[in-house]
Structure 1
Amino acid sequence: MNTNDLEKPVLSANNASALHCVMSKTDIEIAQEERALETSSEPSTALGRFLRKLEVPHEGKPLSVLRNPDLEPVPDKERTWGFWSYFAYWGLPNFSVATFSTGSALLALDLNIQQSIGALVIANVLIAVATILNSNPGIKYHIGFTLDQRMIFGIYGSYLGIIIRVGLSVVMYGYSAWLGGLCMNMIFDSFSFNYLNMKNTFPESVPMARKDLIGFLCFQLVQMPFAFVKPRRVNIPSIVTCFMALFATIGLLAYLTKTNGGPGPIFYEKVTLSASQRSWMWLFAITIWYSGVSMGVANQSDFSRFSSNKMACYSGLFIGTVLPGTFISLAGMLCASACQGLYGEAYWTPDEIVSQWLNDNYSSKARAASFFIGISFTGSQMFLNLTQNGYACGMDLAGIFPKYINVVRGTLFVQLISWVVQPWTFFNTSSSFLTAMSSFGIFTTPIVTINVIDYYLVRRSKISLLDFFTLSKKGTYWYNHGVNWRAIFSLLAGIALGIPGLVYSVQTQLKANEGMMNYFYGYFFFIPLVSGVSYAILCYFFPYRPEKFGMEDPIDYFNCFSENELQALGMLPFDDSQGDIYEIIDAREQDENSDSVIDEIDFTNKAKH
């Protein structure tokens, strides 16, 4: 008989004996430890009752200091993202104002347009490869960034990686929301000439215009309701807004280059750097571009877990990264160059270009262009901010306070707290924030590197899902008191070597150390060597081998895998509609029918082979 034709038993309370045959004693102890975390008595104090009311809605699902429904592996029926969803998810950072204006940062390195595009092509290919490597915990096991951090840093150590990502999310949410407000002003400008030329009533000490504040406020208000939308459901509007921004960019490029009669003077500028200087600036250009998307690379599992097909995810993110990332950047540089020829000034953002048109001639044609370009970039900026920063921060905060924060509450939190970073100061003062942005990858690159090394080389792509939600010392991710010191050391080593270059780039009056600056210019390449090699060496000389290390769960405890996945993993399905795992364990403790045990052991072994 072909074993593929065998019908595997579905484990439930009705055949608890079978469950105990494939669950080790350690698995049972871990599951019982999880139950202890999830069990809470009725609060007897007013504070306790108040905190109980604050707990996240969980509809009868387990809830503990380590677990809520948003942290569990994504079930098969909710994994609906295909090629276009991942094309859009990785296209959004490219179909945005920041990418359109990338040339202003790259040309400031004394590279010309041709050199800058060459560096961007290399950067985009490398980013896509790094993202694919970091996707697989989400694709294979359907877990997000939070559980990734528990895997590499330990149950308690994971808070370090999560807090780093939360901090960057808050800052970048405010930054992207401010750019979104500028895009929204293009829409309002098309409605009213008075709004276009609104006078600023703020004192000079306030580094923003009243008009910009209105746009920012409106953009924030429009974004806020999307906090209540499940992240996996924003793929369709993301696809639509990507193509709207693409058509808007093509329209800008076609009109400006045709009107100017060519690409403009910046396009023909020569590179005056020496060969050595040019090489380091190429590295820095690659690093600058990578830094802007490094946070998305780090938390890729948050969205790769929605994948319905591995190859669709790979191809969608690769094409969505490489093609738009190159074309939009090139279009932005050519538009700025054409503006230099037409208006005597290089405009690096769409709102500056549109403002020039409207002030030259407030005609119906110019207003229509302003409206379409404005709504296109507003849409792409909105879903970029939600997916890359809003939802991502919500998922991270859910990992820190699972009982009280889910994705909805976490997203609302970052929307409200993003005002604190005062994003208007990033653009309207001498703030060194825009320079410091090129260093954000210093904090996320070690996380990506350690995750890839740990998943592929140390664990051989095999992890246990049951152990993510326990404080048991037998759990795979307990390490030493809940902390994997090997990963922590490797993380800090990679970050520490990049900090001096960051300081030198911000504090230009300091005399820079050439070696440290070169490390900073190429940290996209150097940090993986430092953090990756140090982690591999530490794991070799100080191995961590708990009882379940490198083992997968024998049972689909979370009822999240498809039939094909269960067969590939050699895992038995679990029917949680007939009782949770704890009820089945309790039932087995009352049932010592040895005959059924022998039958199920024999069947399970056949099914696995």
Structure 2
Amino acid sequence: MLSIIKSSSEVEKNVALETVMSKDINHIKSIISSDEKNILKETLELEKEREVTTSFQRFMKKLEIPHEGKVVSSLRNPDLEPIKYEDQTWGFWSMLGYWGLPNFSIPTFSTAITFSSLGLNAKEIIGALIIANCFVISMLILSANNGADYHIGFGLSQRMTYGIKGSYFGVLIRLGISFVTFGYLAWGGGALINMILDSFSHNYLNYSGFEKSSGLDAKGLIGFVIFLILCCVFVFVHPRKTAKYSLFACGSTFFGILGMFIYLRKTAGGPGVLWYAKDTMGTTDRAFTWLYVITIWISGVANSILNGNDYQRFTRSEDKFKISISLVAAILVAATLVATFGLICSSCCLSLYGQSYFMPTDITEQWLNDNYSPKARAATFFLGIAFSSCQLMLNMTQNAYAVGMDLALYAPRYFNVRRGTMLCVIVGGWATCPWTFYTGASKFLTVMSAFGLFVTPSITFLWCDYYVIRKNLSLIDFFTKSPSGTYWYFHGINFRAIIVAVIGISLGLPGLYYTCYPEQAYNVGMMRFYYAYFLFVPMITIPLYLLSYKLFPYKNERLGLSDPVDYFDCFSPDECAKYGMIKFEGKLDPYSILDGIVDNYNTIDNNIESSAGEEEVKVEIKE
């Protein structure tokens, strides 16, 4: 196990280790309550191998994920379990790479200029983005702390909020958005692949083929297919091992954007005409437009905020401060710089070419059409490599892997992260018809603004549950259907969360409808509610959710309790001391209780009695 002490001198330096390291089996037995015994019994029964008797059962057995002796059940597989301490390898640079992806990416580069269509000038847009990024950092830290502290992912956090069965509702929302966003980014990634192909052949640059009114065209389809093939390669890379690829993608994209910015600004002789534009809106309209810009910006990463614990669980809780600094660098600094560069580049394009391009693909195509020279081709090629690599890693880490993790919760026996990710790549790119999202700036803003509405209630519930209602989490309760489990609620569903979530989402739907159909007469109040739903929805859902617990108290004896034992080997000795846990080492590993190595708790009791006299086990601390 990981809780290792090298010598008695280490214990003397850290007195807490004496209280958390136990070699006494009887001690372990004495601290496990009757409720925990019942939960363990129910868990063992749930995970017990069933006898296969029919052809259909044999067929379904063959479809189960490969688990190499580890337990799979209707609630558990290796990808759902809390992360072992030895696998918590992410630190400052890993999180900088992960959160740098959405902020060094083409969507961030392209979004700022689209805000000018709302009536704000360049300086106001940048100011709104700085405020929005501060909100993003705060929301992310609040949402992901349960992952850093207890090393659990998004699926388990939804069991905490919605219940063991109700979690399917919370995960379904993110699952749907992840599919849509994957397709949207994959089609954009195809356009970036075409930048590379354009630099190879002048004929390909001018290739037209078929073109549909929906936005689907032959050239876009070619790039799209190639991009999906590249996504298939990364299906076989575990999310925990993507940090180095993400850092490379962020670095190459940043220098590509910086080079484009320097060239266009120098050629245009300044920041362009849009930089000096004035807005003519009234005070109230300007205020709500600022809020709408902030809402759209937050909405673009809201899904990632909600599942921030999926990657924060790969970090160690003692590294929280360093992780927070990496978030500031990756979100506040990087996003503000890249968005500003994108806005100025588009402004320069308006001065140089008569059009304010908001996609880099349009800019490089302009260069190649003006002069298909070696210089223009080389610039296009290297920019295409940089931008497509970032788009690839962004889409995999933020969407494809997220689908894999979500499907692992829906069908743990048959889906792990790899299988779910492959399904997303094969199906998700096509099913959402992503080419329809790129038909104009207004459509782009509509898509961007809609995502956050559906996940904001779930984000607020994470805050309420973790910081107010529970404060401590029991990990064994995530994998049981026992009514004693603290996440069982009423028949496995927390109706409080579902009802409040529906209320929060419903209040924003009229504004979303008006945004999709601007020709319709609209209610000003509902429209303004939608413009600032990132602010108004939490103001409604947080009080309602907490009030629901006052009106309908949740009576569960395990509410707010941590496990008495580090069953999942995911905590350091200091963390065990903090949560009042015992870390056991000996012949009977408490983790095996959950793994079903023993058949029932009576057998466990017998083993405990017979092992009480075993010789003392050496314990070391890992350096």
Check 1:510–1:115 CA distance in 2 against 1; reply closer, same or farther (3 A cut). Answer: same
Check 1:262–1:94 CA distance in 2 against 1; reply closer, same or farther (3 A cut). Answer: same
The residue type paired with residue 590 of structure 1 is N
- Does 2:606 correspond to 1:590? yes
**Separation in 1 of the partners of 2:539 and 2:59?**
49
Structure 2 partner of 1:6: 18
Structure 1 partner of 2:245: 237
TM-score by length of 1: 0.94
The residue type paired with residue 469 of structure 2 is V
> Given the alignment, which residue of 506, 525, 548 partners 2:558?
548
**Separation in 2 of the partners of 1:352 and 1:446?**
37
Do the aligned partners of 2:113 and 2:342 also contact (CA within 8 Å) in 1? no
Structure 1 partner of 2:114: 105
> Given the alignment, which residue of 272, 280, 284 partners 2:280?
272
Do the aligned partners of 2:457 and 2:504 also contact (CA within 8 Å) in 1? yes
Do the aligned partners of 2:114 and 2:445 also contact (CA within 8 Å) in 1? no
Runs of 4+ in 1 over 6 A off after TM superposition: none
Check 1:172–1:594 CA distance in 2 against 1; reply closer, same or farther (3 A cut). Answer: closer
Do the aligned partners of 1:435 and 1:505 also contact (CA within 8 Å) in 2? yes
> Given the alignment, which residue of 171, 192, 195 partners 1:186?
195
Segments of 5+ residues of structure 2 without an aligned counterpart are 1-11, 617-623
Structure 2 partner of 1:476: 486
470-479 or 429-438, which moves further after superposition? 429-438
1:366-385 superposed matches below 5 A: 366-385=376-395
Structure 1 partner of 2:80: 71
1:156-235 superposed matches below 5 A: 156-198=165-207, 200-202=208-210, 204=212, 207-235=215-243
575-584 or 182-191, which moves further after superposition? 575-584
494-503 or 583-592, which moves further after superposition? 583-592
410-419 or 574-583, which moves further after superposition? 574-583
- Does 2:354 correspond to 1:344? yes
Q: CA deviation at 1:503?
A: 0.6
> Given the alignment, which residue of 295, 300, 313 partners 1:305?
313
- Does 2:137 correspond to 1:128? yes
1:16-36 CA distance string (max 9 Å, x none) = 433221110110110110111
> Percent identity of the aligned residues?
45
1:430-489 CA distance string (max 9 Å, x none) = 995751431211111110001101110111x20100000000011000111111111112
Q: CA deviation at 1:9?
A: 4.4
- Does 2:156 correspond to 1:144? no
Aligned-partner SS, 1:160:
helix
* Equivalent residue pairs, number: 593
Aligned-partner SS, 1:57:
coil
Aligned-partner SS, 1:338:
helix
1:30-45 superposed matches below 5 A: 30-45=39-54
Structure 1 partner of 2:3: none
Do the aligned partners of 1:155 and 1:471 also contact (CA within 8 Å) in 2? yes
> Given the alignment, which residue of 309, 324, 331 partners 1:314?
324
> Given the alignment, which residue of 436, 448, 470 partners 1:425?
436
TM-score by length of 2: 0.92
Check 1:533–1:341 CA distance in 2 against 1; reply closer, same or farther (3 A cut). Answer: same
Do the aligned partners of 2:161 and 2:462 also contact (CA within 8 Å) in 1? yes
**Separation in 1 of the partners of 2:396 and 2:212?**
32
Aligned-partner SS, 1:92:
helix
Q: CA deviation at 1:569?
A: 2.0
1:264-321 CA distance string (max 9 Å, x none) = 1111110100011100000001001111000000000101001132222222122211
RMSD across aligned positions (CA): 2.1
559-568 or 28-37, which moves further after superposition? 559-568
The residue type paired with residue 321 of structure 2 is M
Q: CA deviation at 1:509?
A: 2.5
Structure 2 partner of 1:295: 303
- Does 2:458 correspond to 1:447? yes
**Separation in 2 of the partners of 1:578 and 1:591?**
8
- Does 2:33 correspond to 1:21? no
Structure 2 partner of 1:603: none
Q: CA deviation at 1:8?
A: 4.8
Q: CA deviation at 1:206?
A: 6.4
The residue type paired with residue 461 of structure 2 is I
1:542-581 CA distance string (max 9 Å, x none) = 2213111110000011111122222222211145985511
Q: CA deviation at 1:593?
A: 5.2
- Does 2:558 correspond to 1:522? no
Check 1:5–1:513 CA distance in 2 against 1; reply closer, same or farther (3 A cut). Answer: closer
Do the aligned partners of 2:214 and 2:435 also contact (CA within 8 Å) in 1? no
Do the aligned partners of 2:25 and 2:611 also contact (CA within 8 Å) in 1? no
The residue type paired with residue 431 of structure 2 is V
The residue type paired with residue 110 of structure 1 is G
Q: CA deviation at 1:233?
A: 0.4
**Separation in 1 of the partners of 2:432 and 2:325?**
36
Q: CA deviation at 1:223?
A: 1.1
Check 1:40–1:251 CA distance in 2 against 1; reply closer, same or farther (3 A cut). Answer: same
461-470 or 187-196, which moves further after superposition? 187-196
> Given the alignment, which residue of 379, 402, 407 partners 2:417?
407
Check 1:592–1:275 CA distance in 2 against 1; reply closer, same or farther (3 A cut). Answer: closer
Q: CA deviation at 1:42?
A: 2.6
Do the aligned partners of 2:20 and 2:576 also contact (CA within 8 Å) in 1? no
1:124-149 CA distance string (max 9 Å, x none) = 00110000011111000000000000
- Does 2:271 correspond to 1:253? no
- Does 2:495 correspond to 1:485? yes
Aligned-partner SS, 1:69:
coil
303-312 or 151-160, which moves further after superposition? 303-312
Aligned-partner SS, 1:545:
coil
Q: CA deviation at 1:104?
A: 3.2
Aligned-partner SS, 1:59:
coil
Do the aligned partners of 1:134 and 1:298 also contact (CA within 8 Å) in 2? yes
Structure 2 partner of 1:607: none
**Separation in 1 of the partners of 2:587 and 2:288?**
59
Do the aligned partners of 2:296 and 2:445 also contact (CA within 8 Å) in 1? no
The residue type paired with residue 406 of structure 2 is D
**Separation in 2 of the partners of 1:415 and 1:592?**
48
The residue type paired with residue 101 of structure 1 is S
Do the aligned partners of 1:340 and 1:347 also contact (CA within 8 Å) in 2? yes
Do the aligned partners of 1:26 and 1:474 also contact (CA within 8 Å) in 2? yes
**Separation in 2 of the partners of 1:103 and 1:63?**
46
127-136 or 420-429, which moves further after superposition? 420-429
Structure 2 partner of 1:325: 335
> Given the alignment, which residue of 65, 68, 77 partners 1:59?
68
